[in-house]
Amino acid sequence: MKDFHSFGWYASRISKKMPNYTLRPVPTRLLGGLAYAIVVISSFLAIGLLSLHPVVNLLLSVVIGFSFAGLGFLGHEILHGTVVRKRWLMNVLGAIAFWPLSTGPELWKKWHNLTHHVHTQDEEKDPDAWPTLEKISKMKAFRWVYRLPLFVRATASFASLTIQFTMHSLKCFFTYLKEFHPTKRPKVWIQAIAPWVTWIGLLFIMGFESWFFAFLLPLLIANFIVMAYISTNHRLNPLVPVNDPLANSLTVTVPKWVDVLHFNFSYHTEHHLFPAMSPKYYPIVKQHIKEMWPDRYHEMPMGKALIALWKTPRVYHGHHDLIDPQGGKVFGSLGFGLDPENIQEKTSSETKEQDKKRRTP
């Protein structure tokens, strides 16, 4: 891939082929959220009121965790305006959907809609972009981590997916709070604190053991599910000078029933092209992309994407390569040498040749 195009460049060409109804909100998506809410509340009551065997509680925890993640995917959809268009209703429904993940709608829109989507895979401006070797080398607290073997770091990285969304949400809260108008900051604080008050209050009502099965373990499960998608969305793709969704985003494939449960969140390239379109219609967008730019489109099964994440380091060397700071091994990114079927270290000649091409006007 030698050149980049903006998301608007692609969207303007695909829009001509899309039916008009695909631009309308789809409020029936809320039925899925209602189903998840009923499952969560019913499971809470079962864990809190019944003396169930720990194995049964564990199974309910898994169900709640999947429901928390599903609600998060719906909240993401709601706050993009693809379910309802009235702003106050969007914020209320978005807050409810994101309540289990304790992320307020105002913060999410600032962090995700207005920053991540506008500056996707920009090494300086995208809050979700993985760091470069230059940046990591200045972070004293993390230098020792990159002295550990890649296998150890990969294991720890995958284990940390169980807390990454929650921790990143807290980080973004303190990063972006100062950018809200002073009159709006109290609202942002309330949206951040209220969910935690609920969950900590539930601890005192249920007791630790029931609370562990009803909230803490499900939260870890939901974090892992959500971050499994978020990690594969962009972290195998290059950093880019232009917000080109076909270069900086990856669509993963999952079984159809998983797409139903997760509101088509797997269609991530399509989402970055049309964030204001209901994911219900992303299969149509995908069809057009594959017909118009088959050589640019990145797609792979979720399992293979996770394996590729495991095998490659999470530090960028330049814009297009991933480097292991410990041994200096260099791997390509999608579109620049990464082959998910056969992940291999780049040879020094390959690296030098690509560096030469990047420097050539």
* pLDDT tens-digit readout, 292-325: 999 999 999 999 999 999 999 988 998 899 998 8
Per the domain annotation, does 328 fall within a domain?
Answer: no
Domain hosting 279: range is 7-315
226-255 confidence digits (pLDDT tens): 999 999 999 999 999 999 999 999 999 999
Q: pTM for the full model?
A: 0.92
Q: What percent of the chain is modeled with pLDDT above 70? A: 95
List helix spans (H) across 99-138. Answer: 105-108, 133-136
Alpha helices in 177-325 (DSSP H): 185-206, 208-211, 217-234, 245-248, 256-261, 268-273, 282-292, 302-311
pLDDT at 41: 97
Euclidean distance between the first and final Cα of the chain, in Å?
A: 15
With pLDDT > 90 as the criterion, what percentage of the chain qualifies?
Answer: 81
* Lowest model confidence (mean pLDDT) among 69-78, 250-259, 264-273, 350-359: 350-359
Cβ atoms of 331 and 346 within 8 Å: the answer is: yes
Establish if 325 belongs to a structural domain.
no
CB 280 within 8 A of CB 29: yes
Per-residue pLDDT tens digits for 322-359? 998 888 889 999 999 888 888 888 765 555 555 554 44
Three-class secondary structure of residue 269 per DSSP: helix
Domain count, the chain: 1
Q: Which region holds residue 323: left if phi is over 0, alpha if psi is between -120 and 50, else beta?
A: beta
pLDDT tens digits along 117-164: 999 999 999 999 988 888 887 777 777 788 888 889 899 999 999 999
Q: Inform me whether the pLDDT recorded for 91 exceeds 70.
A: yes
- Residues 195-228: pLDDT tens digits? 999 999 999 999 999 999 999 999 999 999 999 9
The reply to whether 342 falls in a domain is: no
Q: Say if 336 falls within a structural domain.
A: no
Phi, psi for 231 (deg, rounded to 5): -65, -40
Residue 357, in any domain of the structure: no
CA dihedral 132, 138, 141, 143 (to 10 degrees): 70
Q: Is residue 360 included in any domain, yes or no?
A: no
pLDDT value for 271: 97
Structural domain contains residue 226: yes
Query: Would 324 be classed as within a structural domain?
Result: no
